[in-house]
Amino acid sequence: MRVTFTVNGREESAQNVWEGESLLYVLRERLGLPGSKNACEQGECGSCTVYLDGVPVCSCLVAAGQAEGRQVRTVEGLAEGDRLDPVQEAFVECGAVQCGFCTPGLVVQAHDLLSRVARPSDAEIREALAGNLCRCTGYEKILDAVRLAATRKAAR
């Protein structure tokens, strides 16, 4: 089947999509957007997190056909041109990236948190990121990055 939806502000179409295919597969393999990562394929790891109609979801658990006509925003859509989003900047500056595989999902999820809660408590950050696994044990620096991004965003 053919699936058409808006990705990062642009309408995109994918052809020959298998009906059981996930939104994640369409993004990565058909639309050339490999930022969202494919790891657990069961909603456990959060590395495929994208916005679907403004709400963060695991794109591996969205059937591609369910995205028809909807708005998707991936990690590739957070920066404005060459200017990184404050969350992305903070991840770089705090060393919140080791192997980098979990990073796109964490960045999208943290981006959503800060759009809803300007100055989240540590408990709120941990709760928001509870579904994003990092296996390099980088959580402390990830928390640092989210705190820094919150401070920067609040100062703007």
Which CB atom, from 57 or from 97, has the smaller least distance to other proteins? 57
Shortest Cβ 105–other proteins spacing (Å):
9
Q: What angle do CA 135, 153, 91 make, to 5 degrees?
A: 25
The 8-class DSSP code of residue 55 comes to: E
Is 61 a binding residue for other proteins by CB under 8 A? The answer is yes
Q: Which of 154, 152, 109 has the alpha carbon at shortest distance from 129?
A: 109
* Other CB atoms within 10 Å distance of the CB of residue 85: 20
Shortest Cβ 123–other proteins spacing (Å):
11
Q: Which of 29, 41, 93, 144 binds other proteins (CB under 8 A)?
A: 41
Per CB under 8 A, which region of 5-13, 28-36, 91-99, 126-134 contacts other proteins?
126-134
Is 127 a binding residue for other proteins by CB under 8 A? The answer is yes
Which CB atom, from 85 or from 112, has the smaller least distance to other proteins? 112
Is 36 a binding residue for other proteins by CB under 8 A? The answer is no
Beta-sheet strand order (sheet of 55-58): 10-14, 3-7, 71-73, 49-52, 55-58
